[in-house]
């Protein structure tokens, strides 16, 4: 079995999360690939580090990798998604961050998670992504996102106008600070904080959620994900911010962008005792009376 491990910035103080994971994997016949930056700063014993295979970019990984383990929060797992791309490698998130909707496995369950991976007793939850088309090819070979695409005004600039078309038909001009186009997976992220609905994974939809709209009667809209969403921005500034899962680029006024469903999906590892409904209920403290 081959397992890849990724993290973008763990607190490697005692106890070291990477060392704990490696210890759990040690009894098993596993070839372990570790992100090179993590390996550089992990301060592992020489005999342990020498048995690990470093990787730097997605090209270093192929379909022979049985699982990618992400150590960190949801942002770390989003980074891992850009590494696995369309390889089909399942991604497991161990939550060493805060909220953890995507990386929903707690560190306390790390040992049982490793056993499930090694024994292949996990299930794969397929998650849809969004794809961004722009004339400039702004995001290179990773023009996709698991959570959301967003278009923003810059810094303290005045609000912008976002002309929005669904499947070629005019929907609305949003006067707002920006607009979010979210997947069902991303419905519990930025979109939720701006008043968007929670959508269960597997629904074939996109959510359009305005950011601080000037018209108070404007509300989020849910549309089928097979319909392309075309956006054109207008405002006093000459450039604006585009964001895919937190990675931002600039776009000039007058350039249209098109958001569609990506042609591939991401395989997220989950276990029978860990489902989406349990996650949102527990993470959002539903039904818990905190008054006493």
> Do 115 and 34 belong to one domain?
yes
Is 110 among the domain residues?
yes
> Do 228 and 158 belong to one domain?
yes
Domain range enclosing 251: 129-263
Rounded to the nearest 10 degrees, how much is the dihedral formed by the CA atoms of 243, 249, 254, 257? -40
CATH of residue 234's domain is: 2.60.200.30
Inter-CA distances, 291 with 55, 213, 263, 281, 285, Å: 49, 33, 47, 18, 13
Is 41 among the domain residues?
yes
Q: Count other C-beta atoms under 10 Å from residue 86's C-beta.
A: 14
Is 291 among the domain residues?
no
> What residues are labeled active site?
74
Reported as type and span, the H/E element at residue 84 is helix 74-84
> Do 89 and 105 belong to one domain?
yes
Do 231 and 210 contact (CB within 8 A), yes or no?
Answer: no
Is 214 among the domain residues?
yes
- Single pTM value for the model: 0.91
Is 289 among the domain residues?
no
Total structural domains in the chain? 2
> Do 202 and 248 belong to one domain?
yes
Residues written for the chain? 292
pLDDT given at position 239: 83
DSSP 51: T
Which phi and psi angles does 152 have, rounded to 5°? Answer: -130, 155
Reported as type and span, the H/E element at residue 77 is helix 74-84
Cβ-Cβ contacts under 8 Å for 46 (sequence gap 6 or more) = none
Is 169 among the domain residues?
yes
pLDDT given at position 200: 94
- Count of alpha carbons within 13 angstroms of residue 292, beta-carbon side: 2
CATH of residue 18's domain is: 3.40.50.10330
> Do 194 and 94 belong to one domain?
no
Is 290 among the domain residues?
no
3-state secondary structure of 67: strand
pLDDT given at position 254: 81
> Do 253 and 279 belong to one domain?
no
pLDDT given at position 277: 84
> Do 84 and 138 belong to one domain?
no
Closest Cα to residue 218, out of 268, 180, 257, 182?
180
> Do 228 and 148 belong to one domain?
yes
**First-last CA distance in the chain:** 50
From first to last of its 292 residues, what are the pLDDT tens digits of the chain? 999 999 987 665 557 788 889 999 999 999 999 999 988 887 787 778 888 999 999 999 988 999 999 998 899 999 999 999 999 999 999 988 777 778 878 888 889 999 999 999 999 999 999 999 987 778 999 999 999 999 999 877 789 999 999 999 999 999 999 999 999 999 999 999 999 999 999 899 999 999 999 988 999 999 999 999 999 999 888 789 999 999 999 888 888 999 999 999 999 998 877 778 888 888 888 888 877 6
Is 288 among the domain residues?
no
């Amino acid at each position: 079995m081959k397992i890849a491990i990724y993290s973008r910035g763990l607190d490697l103080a005692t106890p070291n999360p990477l060392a704990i994971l490696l210890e759990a994997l040690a009894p098993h016949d596993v070839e372990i690939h570790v992100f090179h930056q993590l390996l550089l700063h992990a301060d592992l014993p020489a005999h342990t580090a020498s048995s690990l295979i470093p990787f730097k970019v997605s090209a270093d990984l192929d379909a022979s990798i049985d699982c990618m383990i992400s150590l960190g929060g949801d942002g770390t797992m989003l980074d891992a998604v850009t590494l696995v791309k369309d390889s089909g490698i399942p991604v497991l998130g161990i939550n060493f961050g805060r909220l953890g909707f995507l990386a929903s496995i707690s560190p306390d369950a790390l040992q049982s998670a490793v056993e499930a991976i090694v024994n292949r007793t996990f299930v794969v939850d397929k998650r849809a992504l969004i794809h961004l088309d722009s004339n400039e090819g702004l995001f290179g070979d990773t023009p996709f996102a698991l959570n959301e695409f967003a278009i923003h005004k810059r810094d303290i600039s005045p609000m912008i106008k976002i002309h929005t078309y669904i499947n070629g038909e005019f929907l609305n001009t949003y006067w707002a600070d920006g607009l979010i186009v979210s997947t069902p997976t991303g419905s519990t992220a930025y979109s939720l904080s701006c008043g968007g609905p929670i959508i269960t994974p597997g629904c074939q939809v996109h959510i359009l959620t305005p950011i601080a709209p000037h018209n108070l009667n404007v509300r989020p809209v849910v549309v089928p994900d097979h319909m392309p969403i075309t956006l054109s921005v207008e405002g006093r500034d000459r450039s604006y911010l585009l964001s895919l899962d937190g990675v931002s680029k600039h776009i000039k006024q007058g350039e249209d962008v098109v958001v569609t469903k990506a042609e591939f999906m991401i395989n997220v590892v989950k276990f029978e005792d860990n489902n989406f409904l349990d996650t949102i209920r527990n993470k959002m403290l539903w039904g818990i009376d905190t008054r006493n």
